[in-house]
Amino acid sequence: MNAFLQQEAVIDATLPWLEDAQKLGEQPAADWVKALRHTGAEAFAHTGFPHPKQEGWQYTQLRQLTDGDFHYALEAPAFDVNALPQPLLENSARIVLVNGKYRPELSDAPEGVIVMSLMDASVQVEGIEEHLVTVGDLGKAPFKALNAAYTHDGVVVTVKAGAEVTQPFEVLFYNVGDTDKAPALYPRCLYWLGKNSSLTVIERHTGTGAYFTNIYAGIALEPSARLKCYKLEEESATACHFSYTTLQQQKDSSFEGFSYATGGKLSRQEYRNLLIDSGISSKLTGAYLLKDQQCHDFTVLTDHFEPDGKSVQHFKGVVDDQARSVFQGKIHVRRAAQKTDGNQLNHALLLSEKAEASFKPELEIYADDVKCAHGAASGQIDDEALFYLQSRGIPQAEARSLLIESFLNTVLAEVSFSPVREVYEERIRAWLRH
């Protein structure tokens, strides 16, 4: 096939994914939103979904997604409000997005937090496009491009300079799927924390039935801002979840993220953590628990621009049945980023012979005075330890659970907010009873 025909074939395959974006044309929108949609659609039309040979896509096969037929809708389908899960913490305030659309009537934000739908914010909040028109080349990030083509849904969360929000803030993404006409969801979100402010977010993704959600999130932390962001990805068993997060940290800001991933049949969480200035702390940790034929991918880039940054990428996972996990982590240290302390660690516990874990750990360092370490490994349950526990009367299933919990404990210890850590622990115990 010559290059022209090849390009034609890609466009033929990608057009159905872009068709529904025309529905957005009639809606009023800021110029930058229209331009973003245009750039995104154009980029996606030319690339299509990533090819397995493309950098960063060797391990995660997309057939389950690309063979599907997903459609974007302007309105979320009707659903039973009583079916919404209870908030995770009693004392939290919560906002709800249904199929990516912000539902103010179901929402309530903590004092000091301003929440707006993306479209409202796009005309009302000054300087917002800087954080929402994505950094980097859309031609190399097809999911981000596809999301851009549909720029319409999602929320913008802002915290004013100096505000210390103490009440935990839950952001619930509730997705209503459909087997016949499975929805495609393209929310675009922003957390924007002003100078010296602080916030604790619990971000939950859950739903029913089949759907494809493709989220773009920006996180902007101004100097000395502090964000704790605890994610639970518990999508329905037949869903596909893709998210792409760009974290931009300014001087002396700190980020503590934890992602707990058990849902969906095919998922990928990708992060670009940009430590733009000096003195930044950036921790992204997580746990994945996979079974049946689930595939889950964590792809994390931490990029140190300036000196005295501290970063952690620490993930642990448990993979059962025929499930597959992927971890691709890179720490990039630029020439100016002296005294960087970067740590990356990934361990997977394989519970069955057919379970698989793939790793791609990378360090790319251009500064000379840095401390960086990485490691990745998979293993099995220690038979000797299992027998020791059983010989003390602990039934085998319980002994296995105990060993798996203890394996995950070291990464859960990174969660400094204990009410959420306890929620994660309960979730893990429940999963182990599957």
Partner 1 sequence: MTMLKIENLHAEVGGREVLKGINLTVKAGEVHAVMGPNGSGKSTLSYVLAGRPGYEVTKGKVTFLGQDLLALAPEGRAAAGMFLAFQYPVEIPGVSTTMFLKTALNAVRKARGEKEFSPVDFLKLQKEKMAQLGMDAEMLKRGVNVGFSGGEKKRNEALQMAMLAPKLAILDETDSGLDIDALKVVAEGVNALRSKDRAFLVITHYQRLLKHIKPDIVHVLADGKIRKTGGPELALELEDKGYAEYTGDAALRAGDKSI
Minimum Å distance from CB 379 to partner 1?
Answer: 13
Amino acid at the residue 146: L
Our CB check for partner 1 shows the closer of 126 and 383 to be 383
Our CB check for partner 1 shows the closer of 162 and 395 to be 395
Our CB check for partner 1 shows the closer of 54 and 352 to be 352
Minimum Å distance from CB 352 to partner 1?
Answer: 17
Our CB check for partner 1 shows the closer of 103 and 316 to be 316
Query: Distances in Å between the alpha carbon of 89 and those of 85, 106, 170, 424?
Result: 11, 17, 8, 12
CA distance 396 to 416: 32
Residues that bind partner 1 (CB under 8 A): 382-385, 387-396, 398-399, 402-403, 405-407, 409-410
Q: Which two tokens stand for residue 64?
A: 């389950």
Minimum Å distance from CB 433 to partner 1?
Answer: 15
Our CB check for partner 1 shows the closer of 28 and 393 to be 393
Minimum Å distance from CB 409 to partner 1?
Answer: 5
End-to-end Cα distance, the chain: 49
CA distance 261 to 278: 31
Nearest alpha carbon to residue 155 among 198, 95, 241, 106 = 95
Q: Is the dihedral of CA 416, 418, 422, 424 positive or negative?
A: negative
Minimum Å distance from CB 406 to partner 1?
Answer: 3
Crossing angle of helices 396-412 and 383-391, rounded to 10°: 120
Q: Which two tokens stand for residue 402?
A: 């105990």
Our CB check for partner 1 shows the closer of 53 and 392 to be 392
CA distance 8 to 13: 9
3-class SS at 64?
Answer: helix
* Phi then psi dihedrals of residue 339, to 5 deg: 60, 30
Our CB check for partner 1 shows the closer of 151 and 346 to be 346
Minimum Å distance from CB 320 to partner 1?
Answer: 19
Minimum Å distance from CB 394 to partner 1?
Answer: 5
Q: Give 52-60 contacts, CB < 8 A, sequence gap 24+.
A: 56/299, 56/328, 58/360, 59/297, 59/324, 59/326, 59/328, 59/358, 59/360, 60/266, 60/268, 60/295, 60/297, 60/326
Minimum Å distance from CB 237 to partner 1?
Answer: 29
| Residue 202 contacts residue 89 (beta carbons within 8 Å) | yes
Our CB check for partner 1 shows the closer of 366 and 387 to be 387
Minimum Å distance from CB 330 to partner 1?
Answer: 28
How many residues are given for the chain?
A: 434
Our CB check for partner 1 shows the closer of 102 and 424 to be 424
